[in-house]
């Protein structure tokens, strides 16, 4: 049976870290602090995005890493705001810590027999002079390749070249990261990164056990969806409000943690409690036991605009005329333009396929029952996480599964995309 894949296109340069470089083994590196930083931001961001209705899916690790990388060029109050919003450790430990964290995730995936391929690139305006320290951080620590394009004279041609490279780096999964008009002549620097993970469930669901079932979108609305089933030993616990199930991927290094509100409890009850410490507590309470698992086959594809949200979270200075990104080119002529993030996931009997893409553009300015039943036939929250570090790679909720019927299969979901832009000030 062909293994399914998780294929996120993650944040800017950070994801190109090598687990074996001397820089990554720096005594200053603290991967645990980097994981805490990323997770705190993840749930802060979820708390904002959950206020909209419907399904939700994104890669907080992707977004956090892209912005953390961008912070290498921030100075003054711009850096102060980014540090607070992103929960970043000090800059001197940030980059080696992030690199070491990523290196650890990559190494554990390989040990589990999973494929985890990383690539990233910087695209700069011809003639742009970058500060040597910014170059050192992005190239030596994160192994970011640098390519020159002509945004000023041929912005659309540059956009197409970047899209073509991203498509190749993501094994043809992301063809249009930057839509027409996304790159203007005032662009100065754009960063892209890709990560591809291939794996499968440790215990796969048998397709012949998948049946059509009712999913309760709300008390008054239902939809028929393909419901997978298996009796399996898995990590399980309960609270007064929710059932918690941990489904591992092959090799047990990555897993999907699902938080299902108990019948009669609203999804918002769980969402309001969702913090890094809440998830840590639920994970510690997990006990491996036989569970009757009913889980929907679903796919989500979400486009999440983040500029306004990040401003509301406290880093608005980076998007305005007073932004200070002088650490990139030695001037104060740069500001963040747009932050775009798109993500998709397809969950089926074999496993999960999740994709994400990021571009950072710099432009001119209780008591458990025996053999419990876990029937996810109502809205739930889920996380894909690295079990060793606890890092949340993907985070989302399902309010209405989008899948085929109980028999037919549809093509794999399209990838996740995100773009952060730095522009030249008017």
pLDDT in tens, 183-241: 888 888 877 766 566 668 999 999 999 999 999 999 899 999 999 999 999 999 999 99
278 and 340 inside one domain: no
| pLDDT at 257 > cutoff 60 | yes
Find the distance separating the first CA and the last CA of the chain, reported in whole Å.
56
> pTM value?
0.84
Can you give the CATH number for the domain in which 248 is found?
2.30.39.10
pLDDT at 395 over 50: yes
- Does 385 fall in a domain? yes
Which pLDDT belongs to residue 345? 78
**What integer pLDDT is reported at residue 198 of this predicted model?**
66
pLDDT greater at residue 145 or residue 81: 81
pLDDT single digits (tens) 270-318? 999 999 999 999 999 999 999 999 999 998 877 777 889 999 999 999 9
Sign of the dihedral defined by the CA atoms of residues 35, 200, 274, 399, in that order = positive
Residue range 239-250, pLDDT digits in tens: 999 999 999 999
Nearest-5° angle of CA 50, CA 71, CA 77?
90
Per-residue exposure over 90-124, b if at least 16 CB sit within 10 Å of its own CB, e if not: eeebbbbbbbbbbbbbbebbeebebebebbbbbbb
Q: Which residue has the higher pLDDT, 142 or 329?
A: 329
Residue 254 lies in a domain: yes
CATH of the domain at 84: 3.30.497.10
Of the two residues 328 and 174, the one the predictor is more confident about is: 328
Per-residue confidence (pLDDT) for residue 9, from 0 to 100 = 33
pLDDT at 367 over 50: no
* Structural domain span for residue 293: 207-297+367-398
pLDDT at 12: 30
3-state helix, strand, coil in the chain (%, to 5): 35, 35, 35
Is 143 found in the same domain as 164? yes
Number of domains into which the chain is organized = 2
What tens digit of pLDDT does each residue of 29-69 get?
Answer: 999 999 999 999 999 999 999 999 999 988 888 788 878 88
The residues with which 216 forms a beta bridge, in sequence order, are 222
Confidence of residue 324 (pLDDT cuts 50, 70, 90): very high
Residue (of 334, 232, 312, 235) closest to 279 by Cα position: 235
161 and 249 in a single domain? The answer is no
The answer to whether residues 212 and 126 belong to one domain is no
* Same domain for 415 and 349: yes
């Amino acid at each position: 049976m062909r293994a399914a894949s998780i294929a996120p296109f993650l944040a800017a340069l950070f994801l190109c870290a090598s687990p074996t470089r001397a820089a990554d083994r720096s005594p200053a590196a603290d991967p645990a602090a980097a994981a805490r930083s990323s997770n705190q931001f993840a749930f802060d961001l979820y708390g904002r995005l959950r206020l909209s209705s419907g399904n939700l899916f994104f890669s907080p690790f992707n977004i956090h890493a892209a912005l953390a990388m961008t912070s290498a060029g921030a100075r003054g109050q711009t850096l102060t705001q980014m540090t607070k919003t992103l929960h970043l450790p000090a800059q001197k430990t940030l980059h080696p810590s992030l690199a070491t964290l990523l290196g650890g995730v990559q190494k554990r995936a390989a040990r589990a027999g999973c494929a985890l391929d990383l690539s990233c690139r910087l695209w700069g305006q011809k003639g742009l002079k970058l500060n040597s320290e910014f170059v050192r951080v992005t190239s030596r620590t994160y192994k970011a390749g640098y390519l020159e394009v002509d945004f000023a004279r041929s912005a659309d041609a540059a956009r197409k070249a970047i899209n073509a490279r991203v498509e190749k780096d993501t094994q043809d999964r992301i063809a249009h990261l930057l839509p027409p008009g996304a790159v203007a002549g005032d662009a100065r620097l754009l960063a892209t990164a890709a990560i591809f993970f291939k794996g499968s469930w440790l215990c796969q669901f048998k397709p012949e056990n998948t049946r059509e079932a009712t999913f309760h979108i709300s008390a008054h609305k239902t939809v028929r969806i393909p419901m997978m089933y298996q009796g399996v030993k898995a990590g399980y616990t309960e609270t007064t409000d929710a059932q918690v199930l941990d489904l591992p991927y092959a090799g047990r290094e990555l897993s999907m943690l699902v938080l299902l509100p108990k019948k009669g409890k609203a999804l918002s009850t769980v969402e309001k409690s969702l913090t890094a410490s809440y998830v840590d507590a639920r994970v510690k309470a997990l006990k491996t036991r036989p569970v009757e698992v009913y889980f929907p086959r679903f796919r989500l594809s979400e486009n999440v605009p983040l500029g306004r949200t990040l401003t509301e979270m406290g880093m608005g200075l980076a998007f305005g005329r007073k932004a200070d990104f002088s650490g990139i080119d030695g001037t104060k002529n740069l500001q963040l333009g747009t932050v775009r993030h798109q993500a998709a996931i397809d969950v089926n009997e074999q496993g999960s396929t999740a994709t994400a893409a990021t571009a950072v553009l710099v432009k001119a300015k209780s008591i458990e029952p025996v053999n419990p039943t876990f029937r996810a036939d109502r809205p739930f929250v889920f996380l894909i996480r690295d079990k060793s570090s606890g890092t949340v790679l993907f985070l989302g909720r399902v309010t209405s599964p989008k899948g085929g019927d109980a028999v037919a299969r549809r093509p794999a979901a399209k990838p996740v995309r995100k773009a952060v832009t730095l522009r030249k000030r008017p």
